[in-house]
Amino acid sequence: MLTIGHGEVRTDSDHKLVVVMVGLPARGKSYIVKKLKRYLSWLGFQTKIFNVGDRRRLAGSADEYETAGEDLQRVGRKDSGEAPCSGCSSPGADAQTAECAQCETRHSSAFFDPDNKKARQIREQVALEVFEDLLRWLQAGGQIAIHDATNSTIERRHALISRLKCETDVNLMFVESICTDRDIINRNIKLKTHSPDYVGIDPEVAEADFRARLRNYERAYRSVGAAEEKLDVQYCKIIDVGKKVIAYNIQGFLESQVVFYLMNMNLEPRVIYITRHGESEDNAAGRIGGDASLSANGSKYARALARFIDRRRLEFAVEVEEYNRLVAQTICSTASSTPGTCSEAEGAVSPDSAADALRLEQSLLRRRVQPGFEVWTSMLKRTMETAEFFDAQRYRIKNIRSLNEIYAGKCEGMTYQEIAQKFPDEFEARQLDKFYYRYPGIGGESYADVVMRLQQVIVELERI
């Protein structure tokens, strides 16, 4: 059962959830978790992302560590006596190379070689340190923590599973992002050349190094599957940006919210305008709720809004054409250059020239964005009247009851002054906690109630 508490959404069991991301680099994991975190936070869950890459960049190079038994101990930088590199002010590296042994924010592809034992130990150690930070945050009152890392080996994942066995009321769920679409991967790799790992590095050098890093990861990568199923661990796999979603052993309420969103997530570019309705007669009188028509000023606003969106619709059509042109240019350039790397675990193959041409044509058609505008309103007169100046031949207008304004129960149609006089206790309670305060009377709502009824609308926005 779901209950609304003061300051957060709670479930009756008070269980907490750790979402552990899995997948090769350039598969959109960090982008996915940012969208997921925003959605869960909007629902009222205390959610936080713990990024292992950020901590890893502060861990220094393998040269700064010495073995202490089975553990590694950081001993600090070794002074090479060389001049600092121009890219990071650290000695021992040229700004045009990805190798910078003394820089805390830069690790070359060699650092991710699975045969590099010391570097591998550092990476495992950093991942577990971040996991400990995550658990401490949950113990301090957090509800959903996301471990944002590759976690691409069975050994790493088993270490996290074993650590979590010591915690009570904390569930674990793996979310793996798999991508076999080379165009998406190549675009993501281009973005990676602008990451903190490659500050001050020539883009071509950075891309070559990142592709080498990716090949190193692929050598050790094992997808979530039988090893986790033997332990009855919950997991969800997102394949090719949501074209296919696999869910295994999903049991908890929090987990179901995660899977629900991932199944409806959309990563295509869109433009969404959010506006209030024009001024209503009740607005002018200072009354809340109700179902009044627009005032004269409200009608004036409605006309101006329709003119503004008409202009933006034409401008957006131009922007869409430019976007489609850039997509086609990117796909054509990557098709004629180095093929995107995909692991055997993700089922990638190298196409011949005929198949490559077919793939290119299909990719262009699939990614071409078609401009289209919809206008959504609530079922209240003031919102439908605000949309009445939109041309129904150019815009699809939808009236959605879930978008109705918060219902004030017994206080509908009253001014705040009248509420303070007639219901002084209710007025005071609302001042103390506006988000969770629920208006008295049949059907009276809180803003938290509104958030819950808007969940389907948010999902519909994602699916556009």
- Give the residue numbers annotated as catalytic, written as ranges: 148, 179, 277, 405
> Residue 89: left if φ>0, alpha if ψ -120 to 50, beta else—which one?
left
* Rounded Cα distance, 418 and 427, in Å: 10
What's the chain look like in SS3?
Answer: CEEECCCCEEECCCCEEEEEEECCCCCCHHHHHHHHHHHHHHHCCCEEEEEHHHHHCCCCCHHHEEEECCEEEECCCCCCCCCECCCCCCECCCCCCCCCCCCCCCCCHHHHCCCCHHHHHHHHHHHHHHHHHHHHHHHCCCCEEEEECCCCCHHHHHHHHHHHCCCCCEEEEEEEEECCCHHHHHHHHHHHCCCHHHCCCCHHHHHHHHHHHHHHHHHHCCCCCHHHHCCCCEEEEEECCCCEEEEECCCCHHHHHHHHHHHHCCCCCCCCCCCCCCCEHHHHHCECCCCCCECHHHHHHHHHHHHHHHHHHHHHHHHHHHHHHHHHHHHHHHHCCCCCCCCHHHCCCCCCHHHHHHHHHHHHHHHCCCCCCEEEECCCHHHHHHCCCCCCCCCEEEECHHHCCCCCHHHCCCEHHHHHHHCHHHHHHHHHCCCCCCCCCCCCCCHHHHHHHCHHHHHHHHHC
